[in-house]
Structure 1
Amino acid sequence: MLRVSGISALLLLTCPSEVWASPSAETAKKCMHYSYVAFPYKRPGAVRMSGDRQAYFRDCMAKDGVVPEPAPAKEQ
């Protein structure tokens, strides 16, 4: 038991103490807006759905919202 607590204390001392912050609500709103600009809403059942909007949103959130503003998608 002493060995486990000693190892955990050693790990706490050697690990960096920085905390990773999650993206802010403003970033999420911006990424959601951009994802709907790039991939506009279409009525379910009218067209085949794809995961492009969700993939764009995840990529934007991973980059903390630092992405160029997308051009509006062309209507088909």
Structure 2
Amino acid sequence: MAKRCRFVFNRKAFSQQVLKNETLRSRMRDAAEAAVEDDRCMVRDHDGKNRSGVAIICPAPVEKAHGTLEDTLGRMRV
């Protein structure tokens, strides 16, 4: 039986190097913009207190009728 492992992260360093990394966010934004094909959807940056990222926003009726967000996420390559 495998033994349990414990990982200890320096939270401040992890936040700065991974969660708030500008290079990663720009790569995610480029990938999201390339994946979005519907003009009714938009990509915007999300800069939170603990982490940064990219949000893909699509109206609910469009998503329900066409599955736009699901298709977009399937096309994303980071």
> Which of the pair has the greater relative contact order for Cα pairs under 8 Å at 6+ separation?
1
Structure possessing the higher radius of gyration over alpha carbons: 1
TM-score (norm 1): 0.31
- Whichever structure has more strand as a proportion of its residues is 2
TM-score (norm 2): 0.31
